[in-house]
Amino acid sequence: MELFSYMENYDYEQVVVCQDKLSGLKAIIAIHDTTLGPALGGTRMWMYDTEEDAFEDALRLAKGMTYKNAAAGLNLGGGKTVIIGDPRKDKNEEMFRAFGRYIQGLNGRYITAEDVGTTVQDMDTIYEETDYVTGISPAFGSSGNPSPITAYGVYVGMKAAAKEAFGTDDLAGKTIAVQGVGNVAYNLCKHLHQEGASLIVTDINKESVQRAVADFNAKAVDVNDIYGVECDIFAPCALGAIINDKTIPQFKAKVIAGAANNQLKEERHGSLIHEIGIVYAPDYVINAGGVINVADELNGYNSERALKKVEGIYQNIEKVIDISKRDQIPTFKAADRMAEERIERMRRSRRQFLQNGQHILSRRR
């Protein structure tokens, strides 16, 4: 991998490689863009096959956070960390303390949070060394479990997509197929059930399915059958890459809106569902409730304020749909365009500010 060429092609700002021999820390902090503010993105711990794979994952995820934060309306840029190691056996206090010191050394350019392979307890350990961490324990003034508020964001975003497809955002009487019934999806089902929607659910975890059936009178189907069920809305809340050549011909839903990341297997699949008239709520826009919530911690967490910001996901989905119509492009491309336009507006504003400042200085001379 030619690192500088990759960074130049995709306009990355900084990559920091961290190691601590005593604790076994091997970490890569990727900062993609700080035009809107300091880079916010979680720390992932994973057993990568090669160091190159780890670099590529950090860079890819950091860019994704730039778009997610920008589309969410946050004054934050995008970054991400990967720690190379097995999260089940390689963790120790010294590792995360050392990592915290590296974050502190960036002096606020990067703020971390929990991600795959890391926990609230890991964030608490990092907090021992730096203030530039979110998602810590509520005892330290944090927001706690992000699942309920992430689910609420998906719920309001789904209503916005439904309004485009059905002419109303009322979900009462709608049939919604939910793929995966983990923590986020369970809370989503709760909102949908309370509004009067009928639920069809599936999950590889049979206990999760039984819980949804008991609590929400949901209908259970096999994991392979969920794509083709008769429904109004399909909500992918588990696996990525589930919108693909095999599943698209099966879809009967008018709307796809769910919490899962990276739902499109390839970009062309986003174009395909657009062509057949499915309203797609881009994943990183609709599932941004978690990052909106932890970002509120940077101002001293206030749950009512955070919830109000998450409600803005409804308007964000509306904006994506408007751009899709305006530019005659699929919604997944419209989401990128919305994020890019916001970043570019800030770049122009800053350039103008600097030019005005230089003009004033030249006049004084």
**Residues with catalytic roles:** 80
What φ, ψ does residue 43 adopt, rounded to 5°? -110, 120
Structure tokens at 265: 């297997």
Cβ proximity of 82 and 28 under 8 Å = yes
Query: Residue 331 in contact with residue 279, Cβ under 8 Å?
Result: yes
* Residue 211 C-beta-side C-alpha neighbours within 13 Å: 15
CA distance 149 to 179: 19
> Residue 24 in contact with residue 87, Cβ under 8 Å?
no
Element (H, E) at 45: strand 43-46
CA dist 39 and 239 (Å) reads: 26
Q: In the chain, which residue ranges form alpha helices assigned H by DSSP?
A: 3-9, 51-71, 93-105, 120-127, 147-166, 183-195, 206-216, 267-275, 283-286, 289-296, 303-311, 313-327, 331-364
**CA atoms of 41 and 116, how far apart (whole Å):** 12
Residue type, 28: I
Question: Around 271, how many Cα atoms within 13 Å sit in the side-chain half-sphere?
Answer: 5
Q: How does 13-28 read in b/e, with b if 16+ C-beta sit within 10 Å?
A: bbbbebebeebbbbbb
How would you write 178-246 as a 3-class SS string?
EECCCHHHHHHHHHHHHHCCEEEEECCCHHHHHHHHHHHCCEECCCCCHHHCCCCEEEECCCCCCECCC
